[in-house]
Structure 1
Amino acid sequence: MNNNQVMAECSASTDDSKICKRTKVRWIVAGLMWAAIAINFLDRTTLAIATPHIMQDLHVTTEEMGILMSAFFLCYALLQIPAGFVSDKLGQRKVLGLSVLWWSIATGLTGIATGFKSLMGLRMILGVGEAGAYPSNAAITRKWFPKSERATVGGLFDSGQKFGGAFGVPILTWMMLSVGWRETFAVLGGLGIAWAIAWWLFFKDDPAEHKGVNKLELEYIRDGEMDEKDKTMPLKWWQLLRYRNVIAMCIGFFMINYNSYFFITWLPMYLMKDRGLSFSQMGFAASLPLLFGAIVEILAGYLSDRVHSSGRMSLTKTRKLFLCIGLVMAAFIGFAAVSESLAVALVLLCISKSGTVVAASQVWAIPSEIAPRNMTGVVAGIQNCVSNFGGVVGPVVTGFIVGYTGHFEFALLFSAFLLLIAIFNFIFVLGKIEPIKIDK
């Protein structure tokens, strides 16, 4: 039944025009998804901000702090696929709610850590819990939003990470100076627990079961797609690696994250070491790329959905166009490396970060568009698992290059080179964007 038919039925059955208007419960769900990612980013970043206090109070060495940082990302990356599998099997109401509750308790308990060993255990627990966020959000995108809105939603929820960096980091810094680092962890833990309660009370895995979703919105969400009653998975998760689109997504997102993680790891040091900024000046300058990226990602997702919905381009051409535009922009990081002007370099870095999120808005829409039935979370988990190793490898390689050369120029040029490879990957390796056809 299409929307016109539903409207006709509605008009014939009631004179109340309010009942006949399409509800917008899905956008409340999108807001909760955004908030989960924002909390996700804040909770993983708080340790970095509190590093000077923790090293002094708990007598943690620099080497041990490096291990603590890596422990989170290793657990986070390795648990992506299991988290996606469990999300698809048990539903996102349980899995995302439990994930946020899990990592929020770990965050809150960090405030009572007594040394390296307790911090290590809590960081690993945090990584396990946070692994459920992105795969669950990708699965929710497929269940709760029509094809015409999926890139918009992918860009929206992923932008929570950038908003968390642009606005949350200064707030967390102020909190630590005002009430202390231990109390800051406790406040963040309480924030996540409050979110989990709201999620369990409001969200339903099937929009048809939500009392606030009327018939018009349900038909709009499904957009001609049948609701799958069979919840079995048509193949094992590792068999997905036989398909070129899954391979292309993993390769491309790995290189995107290689570049993207520079902005949340080495950018502050780059601005102080190569550009001569003071600590206070660096704080403002480092937030600019994240702020621009947060805004651009939402706009990119919305615009790509509008381009596809207009009928001017197929879904495949739309996704590839925006991926390539984003990656070309991201490669501007290479020009920033050789620019002599600080102002020009900052503009180029803002363009580069904005480019990575233009690409990310498409990357987070694709799992819901190619996954076999009941496997969106698994596909997203595979993609995010591989891509986060780009986040693990990137800071290490950058550190090695900077240590060898004494500056960041060649490190940034290498990042730009990888982005050019990613462009060719998405043009020639990524195939038609359509549900994977299972080999009999």
Structure 2
Amino acid sequence: MLHNVNHLRWKIVALLVAPLTFVMTLDRTAMAVAAPTIQNELGLSIVEMSMILTIYFWAYAIGQIPAGRAAERFGSRKVLFGTSTLWSLMMLATPLGTSFAWLFGCRLVLGGAQSADWSSSVVALKRWVPASERAKGNALLLAGLYLGPIISAPLTAWTISRFGWHAVFHGFGALGLLLGAIWWFGYRDTPAAHPLITKEEVEYIAAGQPPEHTAARGALRRCLRQWRFWIFGVQYFLLVLIQSFYTTWLPTYLMRARGLSLKAMGLYASLPWVAVFVAVFAAGAFSDWLLRKTGSVYRARTPVAVSGFLVSALALAAASRADSITAVIGLLCLSFAAVGFVQVVVWSATQDLGREFAGVMSGWTNVWGALSNVAGPMTLALVVKVTHSWGSGMIVIGAAAACGALLWLFVHPERPLLRDDVGGPPAPVETGATTDAIGTAGVSRNDARETDADAGQVSEQNG
């Protein structure tokens, strides 16, 4: 057990990392909620407004891998401070112009700047949280992400009705600048460099980290030649297919397919977001418990991901066939909660697989998520248009996502992607149900034996 430890690592995650992710989601959602008001006031066409909304996601996707690499090279402190300042300034600048080109440009820069948030946060989490607590750390990070949609829409709508849409961008932009300044003064890229940390906590964090090595050149090129790198991206694409239903079409589905009023829809549409918010905390605690009990990264990640994919897909399909609105909402909550379980495991696995390349790994994963956020809503809309059935569209999305469960059988998060480049397989470590901290490798003897057995094959794949 830990003694004389102030648990600064959890204060860093909960009070610095997660709030920046939360304000990022506020900024991202603000334009979508304010779009009808802005379009009417400025006389923009539906095409122009759609371009303003979608350019954000293209810039966000393109910036993922470069932003991840920057976080690895220069540290999360500098990268996240600089980019949060830039995106907050873009929020403040948005109401200053009234032309299509001005709004388009502000959203373009906003998307590019915010692409650094998640990869920088993952790198920060990897450096501050030992392997035995990584799932709980990712749960806190995801909670900040999922809290945004719960709060942003009603807060933005209330602010617009009381003070106008300009106040939304000014308020959120000012909040971002404040949190960015707090981040700069409160965060350090290494735990040992923080003035408030205790020696005991530094040693505890260090004991749960894999050994650091100098990153080899051409890491991304070598990753691109590995089939597990591609499998990991595709499985996340499939996961976000389901999540994109909740972020885009859920309100429309509840009103058009289920006949809910606008007021009732507002209540019911928020319940799945509450469910996923709660689920990520449960998932983090459960995955870390499995890791302590089994001592195996594989057993702590893969079964949770496979089960989550299957439960989410089946519950979504069942919701499309349910008769009562109570059953529909209950199944939708179950489906999205299962997505939360997979999300926690996915972002823990990016650190397991990537090690010191976690920034690039998280950027790569987010690229696939951004692509799915475009492809998912379009696919569902196309199926609904052809079949005239929302249920058919939901079943197609669910069936495709269920394939992610199969892909997870080949992910093997206990085997770092570039272990050849970082000094070979990790040393085996004894772990068990009573272990307080996972050792430097964060894997059990079973995982280490699997790693040794596969080393020759992967070395050959890396050329």
1:387 matched residue in structure 2: 369
2:201 matched residue in structure 1: 217
Distance 1:24 1:318 in 2: 24
2:307 matched residue in structure 1: 325
C-alpha displacement of 1:125: 0.7
For 1:435, give the aligned amino acid.
P
* Secondary structure in 2 matching 1:266: helix
User: Gaps (5+ residues) in structure 1?
Assistant: 8-19
User: Gaps (5+ residues) in structure 2?
Assistant: 421-458
> Which one of the candidate residues 419, 422, 440 is aligned to 2:401?
419
C-alpha displacement of 1:292: 1.0
**Residues 306, 434 of structure 1: CA spacing in aligned structure 2 closer, same or farther, 3 A cutoff?**
same
Deviations 1:330-377 (A, max 9, x none): 1111111111211111111111111111100000111111114x3110
C-alpha displacement of 1:435: 2.2
* Secondary structure in 1 matching 2:416: coil
CA contact (8 A) 1:253 1:387 kept: yes
2:446 matched residue in structure 1: none
C-alpha displacement of 1:60: 1.5
CA contact (8 A) 1:155 1:298 kept: yes
Distance 2:7 2:106 in 1: 38
Matches within 5 A, 1:358-397: 358-372=341-355, 374-397=356-379
CA contact (8 A) 2:301 2:413 kept: no
2:387 matched residue in structure 1: 405
* Secondary structure in 1 matching 2:96: coil
CA contact (8 A) 2:237 2:368 kept: yes
* Secondary structure in 2 matching 1:22: coil
Cα RMSD (Å) = 1.6
Scaled by the length of structure 2, the TM-score of the pair is: 0.87
For 1:221, give the aligned amino acid.
I
Query: Is 1:74 aligned with 2:58?
Result: yes
2:127 matched residue in structure 1: 143
Does 337-346 or 109-118 show the bigger shift?
109-118
Query: Is 1:308 aligned with 2:308?
Result: no
CA contact (8 A) 2:131 2:208 kept: no
Distance 2:130 2:209 in 1: 9
Does 417-426 or 215-224 show the bigger shift?
215-224
For 2:337, give the aligned amino acid.
S
For 1:79, give the aligned amino acid.
G
CA contact (8 A) 1:245 1:430 kept: yes
Distance 1:67 1:267 in 2: 22
For 1:300, give the aligned amino acid.
A
Query: Is 1:60 aligned with 2:44?
Result: yes
C-alpha displacement of 1:218: 0.8
Matches within 5 A, 1:44-193: 44-193=28-177
* Secondary structure in 2 matching 1:340: coil
* Secondary structure in 1 matching 2:364: helix
* Secondary structure in 1 matching 2:189: coil
Distance 1:157 1:151 in 2: 10
C-alpha displacement of 1:234: 4.7
Deviations 1:236-261 (A, max 9, x none): 31321222332221111111111101
Does 241-250 or 299-308 show the bigger shift?
241-250
For 2:361, give the aligned amino acid.
V
Scaled by the length of structure 1, the TM-score of the pair is: 0.92
1:435 matched residue in structure 2: 416
> What percent identity do the matched residue pairs reach?
27
Distance 1:348 1:224 in 2: 38
* Secondary structure in 2 matching 1:261: helix
Number of residue pairs matched? Answer: 419
C-alpha displacement of 1:224: 5.0
CA contact (8 A) 1:68 1:120 kept: yes
Distance 1:293 1:233 in 2: 38
Does 242-251 or 81-90 show the bigger shift?
242-251
* Secondary structure in 2 matching 1:160: helix
Distance 1:61 1:231 in 2: 52
> Which one of the candidate residues 200, 205, 230 is aligned to 2:184?
200
C-alpha displacement of 1:313: 5.5
> Which one of the candidate residues 315, 321, 324 is aligned to 1:341?
324
Deviations 1:114-137 (A, max 9, x none): 022111111111110110011111
1:286 matched residue in structure 2: 269
Deviations 1:399-427 (A, max 9, x none): 22223333311110011101211111102
Query: Is 1:262 aligned with 2:245?
Result: yes
Distance 1:411 1:327 in 2: 18
CA contact (8 A) 2:29 2:152 kept: no
CA contact (8 A) 1:304 1:318 kept: yes
Distance 2:164 2:283 in 1: 39
Distance 2:160 2:11 in 1: 31
C-alpha displacement of 1:183: 0.8
CA contact (8 A) 2:187 2:194 kept: yes
C-alpha displacement of 1:395: 1.2
Distance 1:235 1:215 in 2: 36
Does 249-258 or 64-73 show the bigger shift?
64-73
C-alpha displacement of 1:164: 1.1
Query: Is 1:354 aligned with 2:342?
Result: no
1:251 matched residue in structure 2: 234
1:17 matched residue in structure 2: none
Does 204-213 or 396-405 show the bigger shift?
396-405
* 4+ aligned runs moved over 6 Å, structure 1: none
